[in-house]
Structure 1
Amino acid sequence: MLYHDLFGDKKVLSQKPKQTVINLILDLTFNGWKNIRDVIIHRFGNSKDAEYRMMIDLLDNSIPLTLDIYAVLFRSGYFEGYLESVVRVWILFQRLRRHNYNKAPLVFLSDVFYWELNNHPMANTLKNNLPIFNDYFVENFHSSIRSQTVESNSALQIIQKAKIIDAEKNNNSFKESFINSRNPIISQDKLNYLEKKVSLFLFSLFDKIYHNIGNTNQINNSKYPSFILSSFEINVDVKVLSLAWNTEYKPANDKFCDAETCLLPNNIDSFNGIVLICGHGFHKECLTLYNGKCNYCFNYLSFGVQKNISALTTRLTTPLKDNEIPLVEEETNDSLDENNDENMQSILERLEQNIDNQFEILY
């Protein structure tokens, strides 16, 4: 919707857009949203409408998180902000049920908390040198290998191709002859124009949502139910909605305060109330019962942590099957003693070479 509104209906968005295109759309969306945010928030007030809360979570939480976690927080070395963002990105992965991504952030957080609790020197090293711990070079090289090899390649062919890629990284004269040298930078006037188009698009979308308040309905009772979004005219999995709808206690439609025992006589009145980013609403007095946090979402996330850690532990401790190759092969002790000096020398030489290569890449 937004892409076609910006660049025309005939403009086709590829299945796997380039990173520059993704960043452009996210940045335009965020800046266009900032221009109208106060007006939209004032108009909707303390609405707990599912479509509205979904859009607020996207525009105030997910998009800023995506834009800042690496480009701003990590690269600037702001460790506390980056650590908080890792927690937030895990919550996003957990809600979206991204099983390949919802464990790695927990492993990182576990390491950090362990180092801090035990006063391990690694804690200060990480805090003071965060940008150095960058796997960009590995990921970039891995992407280059994948794009220039096929599944049928043998291990030796892949190794040879990797060596060629590494040797050619500083010799691009042949490739440059075929590269379009046009300047991809968009002028500031053009960016301002596109931001205004985004603002108008969002205005129109929120106006449609406003006239459909209360029309988001659950259409089945499966483990992960689906909902119909009237403003978008589509059915979506519950994971698309804000965090509150993914918990056991979904936001109530017939009252404002979601506290189990509301302290005020009128739990329908939203006066002196607050709607959290998750989508649950509370009177400020009632929120004190939960120490200022949403107990429903806290329980949902706590269970998610336990479940993911348990699954990861089981996976790591399960013995390999007969047809699986271990990451580290066991060495026989027959010739260990006589080759010990030679092996140690080889290891030292490889380490020295690896360190030299890393410095060459970094500097």
Structure 2
Amino acid sequence: MLDLLDNLVPATLDIYAILFRSGQFNQYFDTVFRLWTFALRWKRKNYNKAPLAFISDYLYWQENNHPLANIISKSLVNFNDYFVENFHSRLQANININYTSDNIIEQSYLLDMHNNQLFNAFRTEKTYPYKPNQLDYLTKKSSLFLLEHFQKIFQNFGKSRIITSKNKKDDIKCYIATLNETLEIKCLPTGYHTAHLPSLDTCDYCKISIKSSTSKVYICGHSYHDNCYNLMESGCKHCLEYYKKGIFQQVKAFKNGLKKIKDEDIILNNENTDDINDDDELDDENNNEMEENNIDNRLQIAINNINQWIVIS
């Protein structure tokens, strides 16, 4: 519940409505990484790669003093596809499956000539649906729900448990007593996705009981004595390793996807061109190898600096 209310919900609600629209780039950048960690846990295809591409681009621009790094950080709100999406929706509403590419282009020009019509089609004239007394009611109702739910959690304290498969070590589920349901591991905080599952009564660093001294259970699920946490430079080493491994895996998958597209393009081009000179082929291979090494080096540098901008807890 803490992970849901203090981490997941605020990040997903604030990323656009507050951080993007108000131009708070540093917080926006950190939240993009945080959303990537959710996508990694949930194994969401593309969503676990696209944020890394954005982060990699910005860090590269920043490292090389590229003007885009300064522009995007100071003018974040201008980098949106709001008008593109609206135009696409309007275009889709004015074509059918029988349209050729030329017909679609002509229709696009026609719509672009009538900007007022496009504006009016998406202008919102509806009034705000809630009155102050309704908002007050909804606030109280939400508060009551949370109070009752946390009371149920307290009453079921110690009854929830992790269920591991005897045949498959990676097949982990969790029984949530308050909901009386068995859920997938993706519903649990990051610590339960790592190679070291959280211990409920011992420190996940020194393995000594956490009841005898000052300690905390962090939002990732791992528990540490304050001194042990400080020894790890104020970061959960188990979750950090999980993120590092996730970055390597997703970047590798992304590179393989790009290579597959490139190979398909080469095959198509070779069907319409003469044989390529052997010397040119060798030069291309050397250039590709240098480019891959450069990417690998940049990736390693970025991961070595990851502690500077990842906030585990």
Which TM-score band (shorter chain)? 0.7 to 0.9
Structure 1 residues 147, 312: closer, same or farther in 2, change over 3 A? farther
Q: Report what 2:240 is aligned to.
A: 298
d(CA) in 2 for partners of 1:148, 1:62: 39
TM-score normalised by structure 1 residue count: 0.65
**Which of residues 157, 160, 163 is equivalent to 1:213?**
157
> Could you list the per-position Cα deviations for residues 315-354 of structure 1 after superposition, in whole angstroms to 9, with x for gaps in the alignment?
11124448x979xxx999xxxxxxxxxxxxxxxxxxxxxx
TM-score normalised by structure 2 residue count: 0.75
Identical amino acids, percent of aligned pairs = 36
Q: Report what 2:26 is aligned to.
A: 80
- Whether the 8 Å contact between 1:212 and 1:231 is mirrored in structure 2 is yes
Instruction: For residue 117 of structure 2, give the secondary structure of its aligned residue in structure 1.
Output: coil
1:236 paired to 2:180: no
**Which of residues 61, 78, 85 is equivalent to 1:132?**
78
- Whether the 8 Å contact between 2:189 and 2:220 is mirrored in structure 1 is yes
Structure 1 residues 169, 279: closer, same or farther in 2, change over 3 A? farther
Shift of 1:125: 1.6
1:252 paired to 2:167: no
Q: Report what 2:139 is aligned to.
A: 195
1:118 paired to 2:60: no
d(CA) in 1 for partners of 2:209, 2:195: 20
How do residues 200-349 of structure 1 correspond to structure 2 at under 5 angstroms?
Answer: 200-221=144-165, 222=168, 223-253=170-200, 255-259=201-205, 261-262=206-207, 267-269=209-211, 271-318=213-260, 319-321=262-264
Unmatched segments (≥5 aa) in structure 1: 1-54, 333-363
Instruction: For residue 171 of structure 1, give the secondary structure of its aligned residue in structure 2.
Output: helix
Structure 1 residues 169, 209: closer, same or farther in 2, change over 3 A? farther
- Whether the 8 Å contact between 2:111 and 2:118 is mirrored in structure 1 is no
Structure 1 residues 174, 81: closer, same or farther in 2, change over 3 A? closer
Instruction: For residue 208 of structure 1, give the secondary structure of its aligned residue in structure 2.
Output: helix
Higher mean C-alpha displacement, 141-150 vs 282-291: 141-150
d(CA) in 1 for partners of 2:231, 2:4: 28
d(CA) in 2 for partners of 1:201, 1:91: 28
How many residues align? The count is 268
Shift of 1:314: 1.0
- Whether the 8 Å contact between 1:257 and 1:270 is mirrored in structure 2 is no
Shift of 1:162: 4.3
- Whether the 8 Å contact between 1:256 and 1:270 is mirrored in structure 2 is no
d(CA) in 1 for partners of 2:90, 2:13: 24
Root-mean-square deviation (CA, aligned residues, Å) is 3.2
d(CA) in 2 for partners of 1:160, 1:122: 34
Unmatched segments (≥5 aa) in structure 2: 275-313
**Which of residues 40, 48, 51 is equivalent to 1:94?**
40
- Whether the 8 Å contact between 1:224 and 1:237 is mirrored in structure 2 is no
